[in-house]
Amino acid sequence: MKAAFSGPLEKVDNCCYRIPKGYRSDMRVDGLIFANDKLMESIRSDQAPEQVANVATLPGIQGASLAMPDIHWGYGFCIGGVCATDPADGGVISPGGVGYDINCGVRLCKTNLFLDDVKPHLRELVKELFHTIPAGVGRTGKYKFDEKEVRELMGRGASYAVGRDLGVPADLGHIEANGRIDDSDPDEVSKHAVKRGSEQCGTLGSGNHFLEVQVVDQIADDDVAKAFGLELNQVCVMIHSGSRGLGYQVCDDALASFRNAPAKYGITLPDRQLACAPVDSPEGKKYIAAMRAAANFGFCNRQLLMHQAREVFAVVFGRSWEDLGMELLYDVAHNIAKLEEHTVDGVRKKLWVHRKGATRAFPAGHPELPQAYKATGQPVIIPGDMGRASWVLVGGAASMERTFGSTCHGAGRAMSRTAAKTDAVGRRIDKELEARGVIAMASSRQGLAEEQPKAYKNVDDVVSVVHNAGLSGVVGGSGHRVDGSLSGN
């Protein structure tokens, strides 16, 4: 067990705590953790706040080293961490600030079905989803791509799938960056990474990745919900996955190439897992190009997952997915670094914003928003755990002022996977969930044990912080789920 954080945590307001840069002589900026008093009790219990302080030492960091209320220990950066660096001020790029699963993210697909429509077909639907959509460690799917195709896919993102009739052009207008990060370079991705991804596009993966059927049972903002096309008792499909083995290998390759970079560029780090390089260095440029390519793979992966879900719904309900109203609400990335414009101390700058277990929360009018959401702000999709709520929020203006346009990405773990498995010994998590009205299927009981509801913070507490801080506003939620189709280890 990791030791509790012993440094100072000064309360800024009811939603934010500060680690002052005076805590350590190597910190360049303060650390800010968005949390309330209740969440801080658990956040103090491990060394994730120390990781916030560690990130505050990175060259070129701007504003503050930030953490969202779903903060927990991660590789180098905490999960839930946000950091912006200025390349004009010696700013660095750090693979640990993106994570191994590059462009892990969430998408939400609407339907025109309601709870009463789905209940008679529930078990059949769960079974068909689970047996159709590959889930679990190393699983491959029905989509096979050779090396040339994978590299083309990494250049085009979700549009590659749409071009093969595995989606429609309207889907692209409801994905962050239209489902394609510009200036990727697939040739910077190793052959080994390409091989790992060649049969995994369109698969969920393991750990906390899932596909779920959910029911909207709360509406908090009628106007925005109407603009998003959400209403009470409506059935939706939520998908959580990333770039699979390809993205993992891109990160692994980058960490190997960054191993000697800090010494080469005269950078002193408190933790070798923060390995970084100047943005404009050869190492930095290579990683950024490969990271963008892996991000495009992630967008395409979720596109193919949604396409398979649409096919299953069409079979189960005997109607085309178009007739079922299975339109994409939005797709957001939460493990990525992007070059964005932000104002720091009254000066407009282009910054590299690392978001690891954090997602964009751009407000109405932001120039990077798709046309569909210019007037409302972007949808923010926050999944919880298998037994509690998920939420749809909308980007808030305060996010631009306080967090470089960022908010939380989920509930955040409260227990390690090892502790969760130990806690589940002698229990049947699937039966416990079914007693709560949730049908869950996984590739292993161990997978369900690791992802049991008790392993996560209460997402309602996490969402209340970002809502009250003005980072993103609650639109509606799913407090009980009709299905959790979860990948297991």
- The verdict on residue 361 lying in a domain is yes
Instruction: Please report where in the chains the tokens 């369900």 appear, as a residue.
Output: 448
Phi and psi dihedrals of 226, rounded to 5? Answer: -65, -40
Q: How confident is the model at residue 441 (pLDDT cuts 50, 70, 90)?
A: confident
> Cα 173 to chain center, whole Å?
19
- The verdict on residue 52 lying in a domain is yes
Give pLDDT, residue 408.
Answer: 98
For 148-161, the pLDDT digits (tens) are 999 999 999 999 99
Question: Tokens at residue 227, please?
Answer: 């603009």
Does the pLDDT of residue 482 top 80, yes or no? Answer: no
Q: How confident is the model at residue 453 (pLDDT cuts 50, 70, 90)?
A: confident
Q: Which residues pair with 215 in a beta bridge?
A: 235
Average pLDDT over residues 54-64: 98
Question: Tokens at residue 82, please?
Answer: 């946000």
- Alpha helix ranges (H) inside 222-374: 222-228, 244-257, 261-264, 282-317
Contacts of 105 (CB under 8 A, 6+ apart): 176, 240, 241, 242, 298, 299, 302, 331, 332, 333, 334, 335, 359
Give pLDDT, residue 119.
Answer: 93
Give pLDDT, residue 435.
Answer: 87
Burial class (CB in 10 A: 0-12, 13-18, 19+), 418: exposed
Burial class (CB in 10 A: 0-12, 13-18, 19+), 286: middle
Give pLDDT, residue 301.
Answer: 98
Average pLDDT over residues 320-336: 98
Calpha distance 328→306 (Å, rounded): 9
- The verdict on residue 210 lying in a domain is no
- The verdict on residue 199 lying in a domain is no
Counting the structural domains of the chain, the total is 1
Active site residues: 409
Domain range enclosing 352: 10-100+338-373
Q: How confident is the model at residue 444 (pLDDT cuts 50, 70, 90)?
A: confident
Q: How confident is the model at residue 479 (pLDDT cuts 50, 70, 90)?
A: low
Instruction: Please report where in the chains the tokens 């891109």 appear, as a residue.
Output: 250
- Alpha helix ranges (H) inside 355-475: 398-402, 417-423, 429-435, 445-450, 459-468
Average pLDDT over residues 166-191: 98
- The verdict on residue 74 lying in a domain is yes
Average pLDDT over residues 182-206: 96
Q: What is the mean pLDDT of the chain?
A: 94
Instruction: Select, from the ranges 270-279, 416-425, 448-457, the one with the highest average predicted confidence (pLDDT).
Output: 270-279
Q: How confident is the model at residue 369 (pLDDT cuts 50, 70, 90)?
A: very high
Percent of the chain topping pLDDT 70: 97
- The verdict on residue 464 lying in a domain is no
pTM: 0.96
Give pLDDT, residue 360.
Answer: 98
Nearest to 476 by CA among 402, 409, 411, 382: 382
Give pLDDT, residue 439.
Answer: 86
167 vs 454, residue with greater confidence: 167
* Residue 381 CA: distances (Å) to CA of 398, 409, 456, 476: 18, 7, 17, 10
- The verdict on residue 176 lying in a domain is no
Give pLDDT, residue 136.
Answer: 85
Q: How confident is the model at residue 488 (pLDDT cuts 50, 70, 90)?
A: very low
Nearest to 487 by CA among 138, 189, 161, 68: 138
Average pLDDT over residues 387-405: 96
Nearest to 312 by CA among 164, 31, 118: 118
For 38-51, the pLDDT digits (tens) are 999 999 998 999 99
* Residue 362 CA: distances (Å) to CA of 132, 230, 357, 471: 35, 20, 16, 9
Question: Tokens at residue 38, please?
Answer: 């209740």
Helix axes 147-156, 282-317, angle to 10 degrees: 90
Question: Tokens at residue 387, please?
Answer: 């037994």
Does the pLDDT of residue 58 top 70, yes or no? Answer: yes
Percent of the chain topping pLDDT 90: 86
Calpha distance 262→258 (Å, rounded): 7
Q: Of 54-63, 190-199, 214-223, 427-436, which range is least confident?
A: 427-436
- The verdict on residue 458 lying in a domain is no
Give pLDDT, residue 68.
Answer: 98
Calpha distance 66→373 (Å, rounded): 26
Does the pLDDT of residue 455 top 90, yes or no? Answer: no
Question: Tokens at residue 362, please?
Answer: 């751009």
